[in-house]
Amino acid sequence: MRITPAGPDDLAAILALEEVFPAGQRWKEASWADELAAHSRIVLAAREGSSLLGVVLLAVLHDFADLLRIQVAVGAQRRGIADALLREALALAQRRVLLEVRDDNEPALALYRKHGFHVIDRRRDYYGSGIDALVLERPYPKEETA
């Protein structure tokens, strides 16, 4: 597997990955096209041969980044792809990172905790009635000085 920047040529493959989300939470083609064209984005794809296995998207703002999307193809899950994508994206972001995640998404929460994220807030009914989001933060790791 290799991780490379994603671009407009990857749009169809990225849209196919949207099946991992419930129908009402899938992004449309225009949304992804805008994200792929934006200069203030980190969009990385995990690839194996000609197949796109996963993608991560961060919006890079002045002093922080917002993790907007991370998804892995249904048949490629549980192989460390999300872990590798997140690791690469965090290394490129080099700043504090925020995200929202369903409070019942245990696999995602475990991944984020592994990478130093912690809960800073809860958004009630964020994903619909009775479905809360947790807001997580990963402070930018400062270099230790001797």
Domains belonging to the chain, first-starting first, are 2-98 (3.40.630.30)
Output the pLDDT for position 144.
46
Block means of pLDDT (10 residues each) for the chain, 146 residues, are 95 93 88 95 95 97 94 91 96 95 94 96 92 94 55
Output the pLDDT for position 120.
97
- The reported pTM is 0.89
Output the pLDDT for position 146.
47
Output the pLDDT for position 21.
84
Could you give the angle at the alpha carbon of 108 between the alpha carbons of 140 and 51, nearest 5°?
A: 100
